[in-house]
Structure 1
Amino acid sequence: MANSPQAKKRARQNEARFAVNKMRRSRIRTYLRFVEEAIASGDQAAAAAALKAAQPELMRGVTKGVVHKNTAARKISRLAARVKAIA
């Protein structure tokens, strides 16, 4: 357990940061789920629209440090290929 005032403050800051990052990760996963559901339904227009909405959300996660850049790029690339394959 943290004893010094500085360590206690860092623990508080870590909790706050964890909550924010958790919210961001959850939001990204939600957008990705929308894309997955649209792909599963077989509707290319809906899937393309969902992917277009999910891309900025994923890249925002990159700038905020929640997701690695290559991970986001890989996810976008694979989803785009699956959306394209619906046709």
Structure 2
Amino acid sequence: MANIKSAKKRILVNRTKAERNKAIKSGVKTAVKKVNAAIEANDKAAAASALVAATTTIDKAASKGVYHKNTASRKVSRLAQAVNKMA
């Protein structure tokens, strides 16, 4: 355990940031699952609306530094590609 005051504060700050990042990543995963569920159900309209919501969630995560911008872009691209492939 840390003895120095600044080290103790760092531990608390890092724990807070880790919890925040975990919550944001969890939200992204949920949004992606909703898109994938709509694709599995073959519901083009639901998939398109879920894609818009997922894109927003992923972009917000990238802007907060949870995901690298290229990672976020890749996730959005793959989801959009999957939705567009639907017949």
| TM-score normalised over the length of structure 2 | 0.95
| Corresponding residue for residue 7 of structure 2 | 7
Q: Which runs of 4+ in 1 moved over 3 A?
A: none
The percentage of counterpart residues that share the same residue type is 46
| Corresponding residue for residue 23 of structure 2 | 23
Question: Distance in 1 between the 2:5 and 2:44 partners?
Answer: 55
Determine if the alignment matches structure 1 residue 83 to structure 2 residue 72. Answer: no
Give, in angstroms, the shift of residue 13 of structure 1. Answer: 0.6
Give, in angstroms, the shift of residue 78 of structure 1. Answer: 1.1
Question: Distance in 1 between the 2:3 and 2:40 partners?
Answer: 52
Q: C-alpha root-mean-square deviation of aligned residues, in Å?
A: 0.8
Give, in angstroms, the shift of residue 85 of structure 1. Answer: 0.9
Q: Which amino acid aligns with 2:66?
A: V
Aligned residue pairs: how many?
87
Q: Secondary structure at the match of 2:79?
A: helix
Give, in angstroms, the shift of residue 55 of structure 1. Answer: 0.5
